[in-house]
Structure 1
Amino acid sequence: MRIGIAGIAGRMGRLLAEEVQAAGAILSGGTLRPGSRAEPPAGLPIQPDAAALFAASDIVIDFTHAEEAVPHAELAARSATPLVLGSSGLSAAQERAVAEAAQLVPVVHAANFAPGVNLVLALAEKLAAALPAEAYDAEIVEMHHRQKVDAPSGTALAMGRAVAAGRGTTLEAAGMESGRDGHTGARRTGSIGFAALRGGQVVGEHTLLFAAATEHIAITHRSFDRRSYAVGAVRAAQWIIGRRPGLYSMMDVLGMR
């Protein structure tokens, strides 16, 4: 299996390169982000552009940036090369474009590729189904390193969507309460709250809290090493080969649905 990595000189790109080789796959090469000053890992093949990377690969892993998600998904569709997409912060329009490309080629897109996070998402949906929104307010608190540019994080939003799904609705319909400041009025029943913290070099911390008048239930996941994301992404790359076109998630990769 020839696996290509978009943005191979970045922090995630380097980890992905290590995990691809550890899995016994062939590293077909990588691309560098335009304007990046990062040096690629020594001895690894660098492709001149994304089109060349897709042409040289059986599958491509992309953890670069939301702005690259759509062009890479379109390249995947045109070249019939499966894509593992880990970029977060996609807009609704970008998500629709990725879904359209997935009609022609298999795509695994996940907000977080760590197996533990996906187990928490599954548990969040089950808890939300059992704890009525009228009695249990759902709040999500996340913290990341100071360089992260999107908030709430993709994983936090995935938690919110899991809660909404458990309650038989969508995050948009339930309503998001984020960035509260000043006299905001009372909390809306059934809405899902978000708080984003940024500082230092925290890899990722997410807490889902169900708060009722008589009890609180909290589930926390902490990532201490980005390697867990790389391990999960390579696992997804091995899983997706031979699949039919479609938009898959890490839940599918883990056999949880």
Structure 2
Amino acid sequence: MTTRIGITGAAGRMGRTLIEAIDLAGEELQLAAAIERPQSSLLGADAGELAGRGSNGIAVVGSLQEVIGDIDVLIDFTVPAATLANAQVCAAHQVAMVIGTTGFTAEEQGLIDSAAGKTAICKASNFSTGVNVCFKLLDMAARVLGDDVDIEVYEAHHRHKIDAPSGTALSMGQVVADALGRDLDKVAVYGRQGQTDARDRETIGFATVRAGDIVGDHTVTFAAEGERVEITHKASSRMSFARGAVRAAGWLHHQSAGLYDMQDVLGLK
């Protein structure tokens, strides 16, 4: 069965990479719609040509409503407001949705949870297979090293990323906190400045860099007296995220309504 996929934010960096990833994925996955903002100057452009893959006959449109009947799954890597609006449309039409957008508030996450009661949604802070393997390794390291280490999360992204820390960094911190039975909201420290007291062993620190064209670097350090363990993932291309999201779309097409993540897609739970 062919899975018909729609891409929103199709003319952006991630959108174009997603279009390329679908083109490379084989006949079972098909680009069926490309969506941009209504005011985009690229409305009507050929989506394949935008992605550098040659003409595919899919014209960029300015509204999800125009093409909702043509797709089985929507992939959305945009901004929270747009993603939430798209989630309502997908839920109303029972179209599955892959969400790579980050930076949601608790209230906004509740709206996604509600939409997932009507359609299948796969939401993840990172769709890279490697990052999701790192989540498993972090859980193992935290459980073994326990309370005998200081834990710090470092992340770096390109200068255009608007949320900080990254959703992936927060997910990494959450994995560690859950493994150690800590409440991340209470133990997270986001940056340090000036004179500080001695480090509280239970805290989990976060450091953020925004610079240049860094695709995405993440390192979690477990530091003890005399040794430290570091688990690192470095992305050199958005294609690692795009391939994972497209894989998730093919998997999600066959699932019932509910909220899933990339760990479900990869069978890591």
TM-score, scaled relative to structure 2: 0.90
Match status 1:57 vs 2:71: yes
What does residue 199 of structure 1 align with?
211
Match status 1:88 vs 2:98: no
What does residue 144 of structure 2 align with?
130
Output the CA distance in 2 between the equivalents of 1:220 and 1:51. Answer: 41
1:188 to 181, 195, 200: 200
Any idea what SS the aligned residue of 1:141 has?
A: strand
1:172 to 185, 193, 198: 185
Any idea what SS the aligned residue of 1:108 has?
A: strand
How far off is 1:35 after superposition?
A: 4.4
How far off is 1:183 after superposition?
A: 2.0
What does residue 12 of structure 1 align with?
14
What is the one-letter code of the residue matched to 1:125?
D
Output the CA distance in 1 between the equivalents of 2:135 and 2:256. Answer: 25
Output the CA distance in 2 between the equivalents of 1:53 and 1:170. Answer: 42
How far off is 1:37 after superposition?
A: 4.9
Output the CA distance in 1 between the equivalents of 2:114 and 2:102. Answer: 18
How far off is 1:99 after superposition?
A: 1.3
Output the CA distance in 2 between the equivalents of 1:137 and 1:189. Answer: 6
Any idea what SS the aligned residue of 1:107 has?
A: strand
What does residue 33 of structure 2 align with?
29
Any idea what SS the aligned residue of 1:123 has?
A: helix
TM-score, scaled relative to structure 1: 0.94
How far off is 1:26 after superposition?
A: 2.3
How far off is 1:38 after superposition?
A: 5.8
How far off is 1:186 after superposition?
A: 2.4
What is the one-letter code of the residue matched to 1:94?
E
What does residue 231 of structure 1 align with?
243
What does residue 109 of structure 1 align with?
123
Tell me whether 229-238 or 47-56 shows the greater mean CA deviation: 47-56
Kept in 2: contact 1:107–1:246 (CA 8 A): yes
Match status 1:251 vs 2:263: yes
Any idea what SS the aligned residue of 2:122 has?
A: strand
How far off is 1:74 after superposition?
A: 1.4
What is the one-letter code of the residue matched to 1:217?
V
How far off is 1:19 after superposition?
A: 1.5
CA RMSD of superposed structures (Å): 1.6
Tell me whether 224-233 or 40-49 shows the greater mean CA deviation: 40-49
Tell me whether 226-235 or 185-194 shows the greater mean CA deviation: 185-194
Kept in 2: contact 1:127–1:166 (CA 8 A): no
How far off is 1:211 after superposition?
A: 1.0
How far off is 1:56 after superposition?
A: 2.0
Kept in 1: contact 2:19–2:31 (CA 8 A): yes
What does residue 99 of structure 1 align with?
113
Identity %, equivalent residues:
40
Any idea what SS the aligned residue of 2:118 has?
A: coil
What does residue 53 of structure 2 align with?
none
What is the one-letter code of the residue matched to 1:250?
M
Output the CA distance in 1 between the equivalents of 2:42 and 2:166. Answer: 24
Kept in 2: contact 1:210–1:218 (CA 8 A): yes
What does residue 76 of structure 1 align with?
90
Unaligned runs of 5+ in 1: none
Aligned residue pairs, count: 255
Tell me whether 21-30 or 146-155 shows the greater mean CA deviation: 21-30
2:155 to 99, 124, 142: 142
Kept in 2: contact 1:16–1:234 (CA 8 A): yes
Kept in 2: contact 1:177–1:193 (CA 8 A): yes
What is the one-letter code of the residue matched to 2:121?
V
Kept in 1: contact 2:42–2:60 (CA 8 A): no
How far off is 1:49 after superposition?
A: 0.5
How far off is 1:131 after superposition?
A: 1.5
Unaligned runs of 5+ in 2: 50-56
